[in-house]
Amino acid sequence: MTDRERDDHEFSEGQGFGDPYDPFDLDPPELSVDPDKVDPVDSRVVTDMLDERNLSKGEVDAEDLLDVGVSYVQINRYEQAAETFERAAMFADRLSIEQEAWANKGAAHAEMEEWDTAIGAYREAIAIADEEDAERDPERASQGAPSSEHTATAETNLAYALWESGQTEQALEHAERAVERDPRFAEAWYNRGFFLLERGLAEDAVEAFDNAIRLGFRNAEILGEKARALEEVGEYDRAQEIAEEAEEMRERAEEELVE
């Protein structure tokens, strides 16, 4: 953001994020694929296979496509990842999988700084979550309760994309929604604090940063932002103390890289 570089867009933590990754496999009735002969780096593989004919949702495993997309992410092939996540959404037979695919597609576009496209994908993920929640429990949906594990991530990623595109008021709105969706999502509290601080609401920002830290999100970046917020509210001694701790953490991280 203004005083820092943020390039860690949140992807889902589904089966595609295990290490090592299982080889992907697409096996609809009339479309057999040997995973040992398919190179996931080849951006044409998935497209060529799925365009051979019109396939129904039941003939393609969307979760396998999510794995393929994540594999592209791991090798920084974000354009191919975005295309694969879109196909996963197309063939998903469950709303939760479709939502995860759209959220990951948004993150892939964000990696390429394609903010408008990322925003659209995140909005699709959130809309699907709301649809899923409404189908399961209309009363719960009307209260804004979380509908899936990916919704808060989509909200906080949307907030960041909106901020990058200059829509700062909407960014704070979605940062607020992220913590409403999942009050234990530490990074959402951190992002909320950042946006509050950017709007001049330093006291509220300190509280948000403290929540993030209590939930385990403690690094030099958040300590630096908390120090900035404390300075804004006139707590100069605490701000200096936190700033020094942040600097020590940065120095230790640099030493570990050298080693």
> Is residue 100 within 8 Å of residue 69, measured between CB atoms?
no
Q: Residues 77-85: what's their mean pLDDT?
A: 95
Quote the tokens at residue 56: 């129904």
Would you tell me how many other CB atoms lie within 10 Å of the CB of residue 198? 16
The DSSP annotation for 203-236 comes to HHHHHHHHHHHHTT--SHHHHHHHHHHHHHTT-H
Which residues, in sequence order, are CB contacts of 115 under 8 Å at separation 6+?
Answer: 109, 161, 164, 165
Give the pLDDT of residue 130.
77
**pLDDT value at residue 62:** 87
pLDDT at position 37, please? Answer: 47
Q: What is the pLDDT of residue 17?
A: 33
- The mean per-residue pLDDT over the stretch 116-135 comes to 84
pLDDT of residue 46: 52
Nearest to 208 by CA among 224, 229, 193, 228: 193
Mean pLDDT of the chain: 79
CA nearest neighbour of 63 among 34, 9, 104 = 104
Share of the chain above pLDDT 70, in %: 70
Distance CA 250, CA 21 (A): 31
**Is 191:156 a contact under the CB 8 Å cutoff?**
yes
Domains of the chain are 1-182 (1.25.40.10), 188-259 (1.25.40.10)
Q: In the predicted model, is pLDDT for residue 134 greater than 70?
A: no
Look at residue 94 in the predicted model and tell me its pLDDT. 82
- 124-130 LR contacts (CB < 8 Å, sep 24+): 124/89, 125/99, 125/100, 125/150, 125/151, 125/154, 126/151, 126/154, 126/155, 126/158, 128/95, 128/98, 128/99, 128/102, 129/95, 129/99, 129/154
Q: What is the pLDDT of residue 67?
A: 93
**pLDDT tens digits, one per residue of 160-180:** 999 999 998 899 999 999 999
DSSP-derived letter for residue 14 is S
Degrees, nearest 5: CA angle 180-184-190: 80
Q: Is residue 212's pLDDT more than 90?
A: yes
- Whole-number Cα distances in Å, 23 to 30, 34, 71, 86: 20, 10, 10, 20
**Which position has the higher pLDDT, 20 or 189?**
189
